[in-house]
Every structure is written in C-alpha cells, then in structure tokens.
C-alpha cells in the first residue's frame, strides 16, 4: 500500500526476520515505488505496517560454499 492506502503491489513471501528483529517480506510493487529506500506499507492481519524498499539479499552471505 502507499501512504494514501492505495494498493501498489502484492507480497509474495514474508516472515519474522531474527537478524533484524522485525518482519521482512518480498513483494512485487509498481515501478514508481520500486526505488531503494522508498517507504511503503504492508497490511498484516488488518494492521498497516511501514516497510522500506531494500536490495536483496537482506543480509550479506557469510558462509563458505566449497
């Protein structure tokens, strides 16, 4: 959702992020809202939660894949 409660996309996946100690989600949003650091909102169980558009992955890889 945007600040005016207009639907701007759809969440494809979401859960609690223990690294950030808050919810994290992946979503498709309209192009005009896809700029990094843009504030958008997600409707979670009827409550509007602020979200920030971020680059993935949320946390840099820290393991060796050998």
Backbone phi, psi, residue 35, to 5°: -70, 135
- What pLDDT score was predicted for residue 36? 95
pLDDT tens-place string over residues 1-48: 999 999 999 999 999 988 889 888 999 999 999 999 999 999 988 999
The answer, yes or no, to whether residue 50 has pLDDT greater than 80, is yes
pLDDT of residue 2: 95
Q: Which two tokens stand for residue 56?
A: 């993935």
Are 29 and 41 in contact, with CB atoms under 8 Å apart?
no
CA–CA distance from 35 to each of 25, 40, 60, 65 (Å)? Answer: 16, 11, 20, 31
How much is the pTM?
A: 0.75
Any bridge partners for residue 27, and if so which? Answer: 11
What are the tens digits of pLDDT across the range 51-65? Answer: 999 888 777 778 787
Q: Where are the alpha helices (DSSP H) in 1-66?
A: none
């Amino acid at each position: 959702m945007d600040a005016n409660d207009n639907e701007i996309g759809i969440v494809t996946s979401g859960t609690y992020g223990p690294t950030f100690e808050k919810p994290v989600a992946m979503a498709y949003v309209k192009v005009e809202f896809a700029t990094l650091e843009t504030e958008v909102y997600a409707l979670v169980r009827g409550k509007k939660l602020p979200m920030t558009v971020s680059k993935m992955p949320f946390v840099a890889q820290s393991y060796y894949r050998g």
